[in-house]
Structure 1
Amino acid sequence: MNHLNTPFELKSLSLKNRIVMPPMCQYSALAKDGMPTDWHYVHYVSRAVGGAGLIIIEMTNVEPDGRITDHCLGLWSDEHTPKFARIIKEAQKYGAKVAIQIAHAGRKAEDAPQPVGPSTIAVDNTFKTPRALTTEEVKAMVLKYQEAARRALEAGVDTIELHGAHGYLIHQFHSPGINNRDDEYGKDLSLFGVEVIKAVKEIMPKDMPLIMRVSAVEYMDGGYDVDHMIEIASKYKAAGVDVFHVSTGGEGPVGTTRKPQYAPGYQVDFAKALKDALEMPVIAVGMLDDPQLAEATLAEGKADLVAVGRGMLKDPYWAVHALAEVSGVVEGSVPVQYERAY
């Protein structure tokens, strides 16, 4: 059985295969306006032609100073919506489903004159020291996520992903090593994420699933382990998350006690840990470029979907080539114009 080529269904989301293009920043928005360009159009549509089942558009931010750089995407204005809609509509023509990852960089906003975060703890001495958001500003930030999600829905997405991984704002709030607040958002580390989830679910169609990306463990000294993330994720699940997209790290400099292995499939077991503990679908990611490894990850029940990042940067048609390698069957997985090449 070719697990890569097996359809996946969850609520209203119906994918033709189990292959996900994960969000990968292109740093290609022009004029500091956060608008997608023709680069983004070609980048995403080509992966739809290339056979991906789900395409998650890169980290797209809820306010201008919430971006990693001034050339990152944004959805803080209704003017952004038509630009995203053009990309989404065209990608969907080739059978791909499309999501947008909604985010805020928090203390990792490199080009912001004054980055913000839950606390005044910098990533390291190469980053600016953030200003701690007031309690009122945190509540206002929740609404900014909701408004960005509304625009994503108006642009025609099939689902939404919230970015709670890699040291960005939601991650910063649920990290004990980054959040030292003494208000309600410090006493309950999951509260900000829970409120964002509920606010976004409030405006999403009832049958549309919500994805959330999380870092299962941190690599900085004193960073949290997988048990902490499972505890936080259980609250996120109760708030409305339907699928977890499981990565690791990204919160700060790698310490001396826990280090990423950077070997093929090195994050898969973390996806399995969340899948088993929470009894819900997960997306595995992390050096799954080898089609046989991606297939085995699914066949062994370690994940429900596999995300292939660098592989798709190198090869827009990774999905088609992977399906051909694993099963030898490409009919229906490539545009009819290209079938004779196989």
Structure 2
Amino acid sequence: MSTSVRAAVFTGVGAPPRIEEVALPDPGAGHVRVRLAAAGVCHSDLSLANGTLPQAMPAVLGHEGAGTVEEVGPGVTGVAPGDRVVLNWAPPCRSCWFCANGEPWLCEHAMDGALRPYAALADGTPVHAGLGTAAFAEATVVPVGALVPLPDGVDPAAAALLGCAVLTGWGAVVNSAGVRTGESVAVVGLGGVGLATLQGARLAGADPIVAIDVSPAKEGLALASGATHFVASGGDGRAAAKRVRELTGGRGADHAFEVVGASAAVRTAWDATRRGGTTTVVGVGAKDDVVGFSALELFHFARTLRGCVYGAADPARDVPVLAGHVRDGRIDLSSMVTDEIGLDDVPAAFERMREGRGGRSLIRFG
């Protein structure tokens, strides 16, 4: 048996998605079918669509989603039909070296689900699941380990953002960088993850919090998310970094976060960081987009440059914490969403991302 659902299907690198029917198999052993309430459109989806990240095609992308368990396969425990859940696009195996050493976000097997087809087109062509989740569809089938129960009191549609943007941005601040009260923060790039990074910095008690983006139109979004200052870089990273130094006593930020995925943005964040400070790279860049540093500056500035995968988060641990922040009003998910759309509007959402417009687009189903 199978279940037919509408989905945004990507057929080749650079090709716009087509909205068509895909056939989901009944969930097998250890798998679950989830009816989606909503899915966020993330820049990582654009990176998969344009070939920056490898992706077998055809594929249904989308990895930031939340919904309701509809059917469970044999051997599934921990969730049951009717449970509300958040998708986890990097489910840890809990047994590899990284998992055993407290780094489940680096699990060796987290991407196993993305390597094999999960559904089929009407003509029988196998379809892959982007990052193993395939959230740009009315329903999906995933391993039970790719689900995190959603605590009560959180809108199940807005909760989709917890699955990537908020976990990544908040986690970069709290888990990776360990920002402390009173430390200064600069955030380069104000898409969905960048806005979540600002909210994480505000929660951590950072001050000042300087938001940087090429688009002046992002200022309102930045201030609503917790920024104390906004810098429209206009593509001039050195001028933006100079402004950060002016706002931090001439030193630069204690912590700078790159949330774009581009060498120029990494360089801006690095230049905006004080001597002895930390630059955290959150964005996913291209493998041939090389960042350059001189040997002298690496010595002289004594800065730390670190990468950050999935906010160094363990969703099973961190989603309940974030849900508590949402319930208590400390995190505002709605302020990150600039466009609520339907499945048919996914191509337009990708075009907005290419042009750097808006924050998060949120697909609401049903």
Assess same fold via TM > 0.5: no
Structure with max Cα Rg: 2
User: Hey, which of these two has a bigger chunk of strand by percent?
Assistant: 2
Q: TM-score, normalised by structure 1?
A: 0.28
